[in-house]
Structure 1
Amino acid sequence: MAAKKMSESFSRALIEEVQRWSEMKQTGVSLKYMMDFGSRPTQRNLLIAAQFLHKELAIRIAHRAQELENLPYGLSEKPAILKVRDWYLDSFRDLRMFSEIKDSEDEIAFTQMINRIKVRHNNVVPAMALGVQQLKQDLGRKIVPGDLPEIHQFLDRFYMSRIGIRMLIGQHVGLHDPNREPGRVGQIDTRMSPLKVARNAIDDARVICMREYGSAPEVEVFGDPDFTFPYVPSHLHLMVFELVKNSLRAVEERFMNSDKVAPPIRIIVADGIEDVTIKISDEGGGIPRSGLPKIFTYLYSTARSPLEEDMNTTSGATMAGYGYGLPISRLYARYFGGDLQIISMEGYGTDAYLHLSRLGDSQEPLPD
């Protein structure tokens, strides 16, 4: 299929509007602000939030749509990237066509519309990964870390922006949930137990490991079971799931043909004044020092590529292969002021340190 430029698929007026909106300034919010504001979901507050999102989401989506049109190395022409660009343009058009939000009826209709946008964008990450894989195949040479820095910087910006857009939509939609649990403010759990979330993520990762290898190493968790703090459980689940999945794979592959029992993966949750830190330790043989710079790049994966899998499938969780689990997990940690560090001992194993900011008052790191 020939690549269609934006001007062939969308009206000139819409394209000009995207360009204009992509020059407007984005407004970051903090976890603390979302929590404080959302703890009083009165009709007036929901109306104010919807009016803010009506403009803010259009600005953020325009920034990304504009960038998707102008990527280096011909990445913009890859079919998977064109598909993503069209999703962003459709969503921008939906937002701009939605008239002014004046009352609760408008606000409810707007909430339903932005939830449809969120669903439309569900497969953006595998689609982008597919586009990057298509680029790698076209370049036809072995890409080493440090290659194509513009692509890495673009993907960091793009994925960080996506986390923010989905957080804002999910937060607003969540405030309407009549069945939300006590202590829930939209997507934020004001009394989240990191141990409980970690255990759920471990169970999910072990199921996938079992499916892939027929067995899965044990995972031991240490920490205060009564400790809670405000955070977004879905974000923490994603990060712990990715890290545990990597550890399970490393241990499983190292001990697969050994007569030794695979050693357990150990998880420690530490409650600090500034940060909650989760350490995930495995004895999976570690990563050579020369390989460490590669692990946070989007063009690298030690596993086989699931490129052939249809990106429209909803199963979503392969054991490995897209090469974006770690870099995206680090973006999720950084989104609310935390970080992710990997320290490895080749010949022994790897420690991942997931730092989550306790204060919750750092602003979203908004890419241009």
Structure 2
Amino acid sequence: MAAKKACETMGKSLVEDVHRWGSMKQTGVSLRYMMEFGSKPTQRNLLISAQFLHKELPIRIARRVIDLDSLPYGLSKKPAVLKVRDWYLDSFRDLRSFPDIKDTNDEKEFTDMIKAVKVRHNNVVPMMALGVKQLKKSLNPNIVNEDLVEIHQFLDRFYLSRIGIRMLIGQHVELHNPNPSPHVVGYIHTKMSPVEVIRNACEDARAICCREYGSCPEVKIFGDPSFTFAYVPLHLHLMVFELVKNSLRAVEERFMDSDKLAPPVRIIVADGIEDVTIKISDEGGGIPRSGLPKIFTYLYSTADNSFDSDPELESGDSITMAGYGYGIPITRLYARYFGGDLQIISMEGYGTDAYLHLSRLGDSQEPLP
């Protein structure tokens, strides 16, 4: 059925090609490998990297096309989901029609092409969120979240894969840019100070909180600013920004009409042998125990949806105070992508602690959905 559905819009040979590539084995890479390989971005290394992506990206993208075409409850037929599928198909077509990469010239052209692929997929998250929203409107209200397990599992796979695709493309593209520091290898900073990244993410989150509410709780950071480890600053910024934004919102809303001073959000950075753990604690009233499992699902948000009109208006890594309820599950995927995790512990009536674990060994393979 799924293949037939795709055939109607895709043409038989393209469908066969997608299925052939989608059944090939994916190859995961580790943070350490990317770091060592990228530390000397010679022409030869860039060529090897491009040749790897030329074969790897179509496999990963084909798998997502097949997934997008076989979703339960008619989600595959929702206009927003069809649009995402078409973006993935266009990218698959572009990659497959690109000839073998033999020299520096080919490599440069290939790099421009995958840069365009990355931009094409900028709005995938808001567009998929819109598709899920279109589905929720049409579903029988008796179908509860538990029945939508398949959709949650699909979205976990889908977004985890997207993180990997964007990391591989971004890493390759960045290696072309003149290096601002000997410690920067593409997207990876070999001596990243988590305290510094956290400070920047907190400033961004506080700016948004001030804009939305007119005021904002303080954030106190406890940790050694001179402590560094190898990680992707962009990923850490996104994760901390998301978690702190949620904490600020909870505190601000709880103390909005109170004559008490809103208590600060506290962040502790602990440097372990295996993990760097970041704990974000707020006194925003917490989450009822029955609500905790829901915060990791994609069909639940405590906030009103922020894009009923046009998801095209969202930017690539959208920054809204509270939107489609994807912040927490996607933050956990970013943590898991390099062997970490996210845990949330709440005390209803008091506040919430988020524990962000980041693996500092750097040798865990990408999880490949």
Which category describes the TM-score, using the shorter chain as reference length?
Answer: over 0.9
The aligned residue for residue 134 of structure 2 is: 134
SS at match of 1:224: coil
Q: How does 1:153-302 map to 2 (within 5 A)?
A: 153-302=153-302
CA distance in 1: counterparts of 2:241 and 2:206, whole angstroms? 9
CA distance in 2: counterparts of 1:282 and 1:144, whole angstroms? 30
User: Quick one: which amino acid aligns to residue 118 of structure 2?
Assistant: K
The aligned residue for residue 40 of structure 1 is: 40
- CA drift of 1:182 comes to 2.6
Query: Deviations along 1:327-360, whole A, 9 cap, x unmatched?
Result: 0000000000000000000110000000000001
User: Quick one: which amino acid aligns to residue 28 of structure 1?
Assistant: G
The aligned residue for residue 324 of structure 2 is: 322
Q: CA 1:158–1:42 in structure 2 vs 1: closer, same or farther (change >3 Å)? A: same
Report which stretch shifted further, 179-188 or 118-127. 179-188
CA distance in 1: counterparts of 2:292 and 2:143, whole angstroms? 15
CA distance in 2: counterparts of 1:351 and 1:309, whole angstroms? 34
- For structure 2, which runs of at least 5 residues remain unmatched after alignment? none
CA distance in 2: counterparts of 1:275 and 1:177, whole angstroms? 30
CA distance in 2: counterparts of 1:57 and 1:217, whole angstroms? 43
SS at match of 1:189: strand
SS at match of 1:312: helix
Q: How does 1:71-90 map to 2 (within 5 A)?
A: 71-90=71-90
2:333 pairs with one of 331, 334, 342: 331
- CA drift of 1:317 comes to 1.6
Contact 1:337 1:362 in 2 (8 A): yes
Query: Deviations along 1:243-281, whole A, 9 cap, x unmatched?
Result: 001000100010000000000000011111000000000
- CA drift of 1:13 comes to 1.3
- CA drift of 1:147 comes to 2.9
User: Quick one: which amino acid aligns to residue 261 of structure 2?
Assistant: V
The aligned residue for residue 117 of structure 2 is: 117
CA distance in 1: counterparts of 2:285 and 2:150, whole angstroms? 32
> Is 1:11 equivalent to 2:21 in the alignment?
no
Query: Deviations along 1:139-194, whole A, 9 cap, x unmatched?
Result: 15166442300000000000000000000000000100125333110100111110
- CA drift of 1:208 comes to 1.1
RMSD value, Cα: 1.2
Q: TM-score, normalised by structure 2?
A: 0.96
- For structure 1, which runs of at least 5 residues remain unmatched after alignment? none
Contact 1:342 1:353 in 2 (8 A): yes
CA distance in 1: counterparts of 2:142 and 2:160, whole angstroms? 27
CA distance in 1: counterparts of 2:169 and 2:293, whole angstroms? 34
- CA drift of 1:313 comes to 1.2
Contact 2:222 2:267 in 1 (8 A): yes
- CA drift of 1:95 comes to 0.2
> Is 1:340 equivalent to 2:342 in the alignment?
yes
SS at match of 1:129: helix
User: Quick one: which amino acid aligns to residue 283 of structure 1?
Assistant: E
Q: How does 1:101-116 map to 2 (within 5 A)?
A: 101-116=101-116
> Is 1:357 equivalent to 2:359 in the alignment?
yes
Q: CA 1:304–1:142 in structure 2 vs 1: closer, same or farther (change >3 Å)? A: farther
Task: Count matched residues.
Answer: 364
User: Quick one: which amino acid aligns to residue 181 of structure 2?
Assistant: E
Identity over the aligned pairs, expressed in percent?
76
SS at match of 2:146: coil
- After TM superposition, where is structure 1 displaced by more than 3 Å over at least 4 residues in a row? 142-145
Contact 2:195 2:223 in 1 (8 A): yes
Contact 2:126 2:314 in 1 (8 A): no
Q: CA 1:310–1:65 in structure 2 vs 1: closer, same or farther (change >3 Å)? A: same
Contact 2:276 2:360 in 1 (8 A): yes
Contact 1:136 1:143 in 2 (8 A): no
CA distance in 1: counterparts of 2:155 and 2:248, whole angstroms? 27
